[in-house]
Structure 1
Amino acid sequence: MWSYIGYLGIFWLSILVIKLTRFLYLHMRPSSLHRYKYNKGSELSWAFVTGSSDGIGLGLAHELAQSGFNIILHGRNPTKLEGVRRTLGQEYPQSEIRVIVADVSDSAQMQMRISSIVEELRHLHLTVLINNIGGPPPLMKPLYKPFAANIDTDVEGMLNMNIRFTIYLTRALLPHLTKNQKPSLIINIGSFADVGMPWLSMYSGTKAFINGWSSALARELKAEKKRVEVLAIVPVRVTDVSFRKEAPTLVQPNVRTFARASLQKVGCGRHVVAGYWVHDVVISLLSLLP
């Protein structure tokens, strides 16, 4: 009997060692971001970051510019975007910074705006697309409420912000990313809310879609031998976002720390990962709850 218990203990210890090794490899390995930074003649690679006037998108724009990419910023507030453009231009003079203003919460105008975006990017050497835009629509109040209390504009706005714009934009830009058979990268920003949070059912559902779609798209492009890496990043909680200006902590890093850690995951071989090591621990613990 004791021998069986011993074998069982060795089995579980082996699983623990494997999981710990995978965890350490994921969060300590060097990034492969450099694969997507290659010149086309004298033109540097461009990275397009949606929802980049604040929060995680802004942090990613900073880190990409610091890594030597040209940056296209996107948001709906032209004043904020221009301020970000000036700041990035001063901090990273080697990078060219452009701005695209587009409010994507209205489905009636979405296809027209996506066509306009694609036209603006058509002649650029685009190698990185980061689908960061997301969250509740601007007019949705309150955020936390029973599913049945969501009105039509809440539903449409949530789908537009978190699903429709991302998939329509990615579909429109995919031919541009794959046309030269050179490496390109798509990063989709999800959320730990995908576990299914009560009174946030629509938001949780849209973020679960992003993770599932990212995995499916990654496998599809690999099967088609397209040189496009697709990676979904799952954050838990960060500071320096529009609705949270708290001091950073170990569990709640600022957006620059989170963005840097997230870009380090590029090339890790997985499709959906926590961008920051403490968030990975938190998500693992949450998965143990009933």
Structure 2
Amino acid sequence: MWSYVGYLGIFWLSILVIKLTRFLYLHVRPSSLHRYKYNKGDEQPWAFVTGSSDGIGLGLAHELAQSGFNIILHGRNPAKLEEVRRTLGQEYPQSEIRVIVADVSDSAQMQSRISSIVEELRHLHLTVLINNVGGPPPLMKPLYKPFAVHIDTDIEGMLNMNIRFTIYLTRALLPHLIKNQKPSLIINIGSFADIGMPWLSMYSGTKAFINSWSSALARELNAEETRVEVLAIVPVRVTDVSFRKEAPTLVQPNVRTFARASLQKVGCGRHVVAGYWVHDVVISLLGLLPGSRFSKILVKSIKAESLKDMKKD
């Protein structure tokens, strides 16, 4: 009797040790980002960050420029992008900064705009693609709403911003990343919303797609012996974004802290990871809750966020 209990205890202790080791390896190991920072003749490497006029995308652009990459910024507001370009250029004079303007919520111009983007990037030494653009379409109000009341433009805009632009752009640029058989990196920014958040059903579904697609693409490119790494990063909550300007906390870091931690995960060997160690802890702890209890916490949290959103409007 006691021997079985002892074996069971050893078994669970072994699992805990393995999980702790994996956690420490993921969050403490040095990044492999340097693998993608190599010149092609006299050409310096470029990183293309979609949705980089603010938020996590801007944080990633800062960190990549600080690491010595040239940066291609993307957004829909030309004036805002130009201001970011000037700021980055002054802060990182060693890096060249370019901008691409494209409204990804508009499906009518998506394919032609992607074709022109590919043409703009064709002669650049692109080694890093970060698919960060996402969120609700610009005119969708309120943000939190029952699925049944979404109008067609809500649904189309959500699919365009969170799925279509990312997969069409990646498909168009993938031959460029593969062709030289040199290391290249694709990072897709997902969301903790992939767990299935009420009143955010469309957004949750699109982010679940991004995580699943990233895993599938990573396995596919590995099986085909390309040198393209694919990594999906899952944020929980950050501040210093357009819709949240609260002071940073341990659980809610600012975008620079989150971006730095996320880039550290490059080369970790996994396909989908939490970018920030506290978020990893939060996700793990929530995963221990019974499903009904977790759902109650989630509903209460989303209702509170919905009230805040309505007050802002």
Q: Which category of TM-score, normalised to the shorter sequence, fits these structures? A: over 0.9
Partner of residue 180, structure 2: 180
Give SS of 2:182's match.
coil
The worse-fitting range, judged by mean Cα deviation, of 137-146 and 19-28 is: 137-146
Alignment RMSD:
0.6
- Superposed CA offset, 1:63-82 (max 9, x none): 00000000000000011100
Q: CA deviation at 1:3?
A: 1.4
In structure 1, C-alpha distance between the alignment counterparts of 2:131 and 2:90, rounded to whole Å: 25
In structure 2, C-alpha distance between the alignment counterparts of 1:253 and 1:24, rounded to whole Å: 19
Percent identity of equivalent pairs: 93
Q: CA deviation at 1:143?
A: 1.2
Q: Following superposition of structure 1 onto structure 2, how do residues 132-211 of structure 1 map, counting pairs within 5 Å? A: 132-211=132-211
Q: CA deviation at 1:21?
A: 0.4
The worse-fitting range, judged by mean Cα deviation, of 202-211 and 280-289 is: 280-289
Q: CA deviation at 1:86?
A: 0.3
Q: CA deviation at 1:20?
A: 0.3
- Superposed CA offset, 1:98-139 (max 9, x none): 000000101111001101111100000000000000001111
- Superposed CA offset, 1:152-201 (max 9, x none): 00000000000000000000000000110000000000000101111111
In structure 2, list runs of 5 or more residues that go unmatched: 291-313
In structure 1, C-alpha distance between the alignment counterparts of 2:35 and 2:91, rounded to whole Å: 23
In structure 1, C-alpha distance between the alignment counterparts of 2:55 and 2:192, rounded to whole Å: 16
Give SS of 1:21's match.
helix
Q: CA deviation at 1:286?
A: 1.9
In structure 1, C-alpha distance between the alignment counterparts of 2:259 and 2:44, rounded to whole Å: 21
In structure 1, C-alpha distance between the alignment counterparts of 2:142 and 2:37, rounded to whole Å: 42
In structure 2, C-alpha distance between the alignment counterparts of 1:36 and 1:101, rounded to whole Å: 25
Q: Following superposition of structure 1 onto structure 2, how do residues 38-187 of structure 1 map, counting pairs within 5 Å? A: 38-187=38-187
Runs of 4+ in 1 over 6 A off after TM superposition: none
Give SS of 1:221's match.
helix
The worse-fitting range, judged by mean Cα deviation, of 182-191 and 193-202 is: 193-202
- Superposed CA offset, 1:49-69 (max 9, x none): 000000000000000000000
In structure 1, C-alpha distance between the alignment counterparts of 2:104 and 2:112, rounded to whole Å: 10
Q: What is the TM-score when the length of structure 2 is the normalising length? A: 0.92
Q: CA deviation at 1:288?
A: 2.3
Q: CA deviation at 1:287?
A: 1.7
In structure 2, C-alpha distance between the alignment counterparts of 1:225 and 1:148, rounded to whole Å: 44
In structure 2, C-alpha distance between the alignment counterparts of 1:210 and 1:32, rounded to whole Å: 23
In structure 1, C-alpha distance between the alignment counterparts of 2:264 and 2:39, rounded to whole Å: 21
Give SS of 1:100's match.
strand
In structure 2, C-alpha distance between the alignment counterparts of 1:207 and 1:37, rounded to whole Å: 29
In structure 2, C-alpha distance between the alignment counterparts of 1:12 and 1:253, rounded to whole Å: 32
In structure 1, C-alpha distance between the alignment counterparts of 2:101 and 2:201, rounded to whole Å: 29
In structure 2, C-alpha distance between the alignment counterparts of 1:261 and 1:103, rounded to whole Å: 28
- Superposed CA offset, 1:248-287 (max 9, x none): 0000000000000000000000000000000001111222
In structure 2, C-alpha distance between the alignment counterparts of 1:272 and 1:123, rounded to whole Å: 31
Q: CA deviation at 1:289?
A: 3.0
Q: Following superposition of structure 1 onto structure 2, how do residues 194-273 of structure 1 map, counting pairs within 5 Å? A: 194-273=194-273
Q: CA deviation at 1:209?
A: 0.2
Give SS of 1:266's match.
coil
In structure 2, C-alpha distance between the alignment counterparts of 1:285 and 1:193, rounded to whole Å: 16
Give SS of 2:231's match.
strand
